[in-house]
Amino acid sequence: MSSALSVEMRRINHSLIEAAVLRGMKDIRDDSYRGIRRLIDLAAYFARGRFTTEAVQLVQNILHDPQSPYFALVSRAAASTDERQLRRFVVNTVYNCWIDGAKTLHESKPDEPLPWTLVLDFRLRGAAGNAWSEARLAELLTEAQGLGIMAFALIAAPPALTEALAEEHPNAVFYFFNQAQSLSRNWLDQVTAPGNAFISLLQAEEEADTMTLAFADLLEQRQQLYGLHAFYSETNCRALAEQVYTDGQASLNNSFAILLPAYPCPQALMEQMSQAILEERRQPQTWKVKLEFLADNLRISGMLGESSQPAIIMGDAAGHLAQFTEIPSDPAAVLADAPTYVSGGLHRLLGVKDPGSRRASLYHHHCQPTPD
């Protein structure tokens, strides 16, 4: 297939999926049960690859019963989320990340893991502190999208560094994890305008502070997709697994409760938390969806590629990047020995030949020794 024809086919598929999502949202508002079933049927039609096929089958099973909590979640999201944002976010995730992006990654790395998400965790500071400038970060995201990586998570990143990202990269999906106290209305205006961002607010360990509640209320007034997140450790994991929300936060309308490990974190604990959340999603007791963000992204990665081997790219505030097949107990220690990002660095990281370089090397960390 010629390059021009391939681009045209992608444009047509994108338009078809966008139209299907828009129609599905309208149908859900008119008749929840019929609209959701119709949208699932459309998703099944467009499903490509093992992940999207299995995901559609799982969603079909979960939403078959109108009494399912997730049925209420979908109906609620369609009714309470800005139509333009929901359409853009769903299309960017399903088509740009899981279908088109995964295809591009696969063409560059056949039979290799597909790291569809890049995570920059600014809690991991390194000796150099914050080494990311706006220009350097923009170069990284542009290179990533050229490889087919279209999803980006920024944890505790300075808002001044992230406020223009969603607008500058409209085909990507962004997850911003921040304390409400660090955010402003101006930042929110810029980040939410394109419709491709998910905002997660750090929840207080005890009662929600007034700033978090006020910012969450602002997100609800603007009909934005958002969630609350917490960092789990050996001291608070049981409480978070059993009840993610404090009394003050339980009344919020956000649909997502997100957990991230507080480093260093024993791998056994991360595995237990991930498994507990996965089991709860199979038999949900509430319409709020719990996610172990990193584990869920790895799980999807393993389903997208033919190798079934998961992968995720992580970076720290000092500019180091590495690819992981599972999350280590102390990523900071591993990243400290990884290369810092320079132009073309992702091609070298993934072992893909950079058009501007004659060499391609790989820094790839395995938490467990791999057989020869």
The whole-angstrom separation of Cα 236 and Cα 329 is 17
Q: Which of 23-37, 110-124, 355-369 has the highest mean pLDDT?
A: 110-124
Letter string b/e over residues 321-343, b meaning 16 or more CB atoms within 10 A of that residue's CB: bbbbbbbbbebbebbeebebbee
Contact status, residue 261 vs residue 305, Cβ threshold 8 Å: no
> Can you tell me the mean pLDDT for 235-251?
63
Q: What integer pLDDT is reported at residue 80 of this predicted model?
A: 75
Copy the structure tokens of residue 48.
């490509």
The yes-or-no verdict on residue 84 having pLDDT over 80 is yes
> Can you tell me the mean pLDDT for 60-78?
61
> Can you tell me the mean pLDDT for 60-71?
57
Q: Out of 77-91, 253-267, 275-289, pick the least confident.
A: 275-289
More confident residue, 197 or 305: 197
Copy the structure tokens of residue 205.
């360990």
Ranges of each domain in the chain: 3-80, 111-365
Q: What integer pLDDT is reported at residue 57 of this predicted model?
A: 63
The yes-or-no verdict on residue 48 having pLDDT over 70 is no
Q: What integer pLDDT is reported at residue 232 of this predicted model?
A: 93
Contact status, residue 297 vs residue 313, Cβ threshold 8 Å: no
> Can you tell me the mean pLDDT for 90-100?
84
Instruction: Express each pLDDT in 330-370 by its tens digit.
Output: 999 999 999 999 999 999 999 887 654 333 333 334 343 33
Q: What integer pLDDT is reported at residue 253 of this predicted model?
A: 62
CATH number of 111-365: 3.20.20
Confidence of residue 248 (pLDDT cuts 50, 70, 90): very low
Angle at 137 between CA 132 and CA 141, to 5 degrees: 150
Instruction: Express each pLDDT in 185-227 by its tens digit.
Output: 999 999 999 999 999 999 876 555 788 888 998 998 999 989 8
> Can you tell me the mean pLDDT for 131-158?
96
pTM of the model: 0.83
The whole-angstrom separation of Cα 81 and Cα 87 is 10
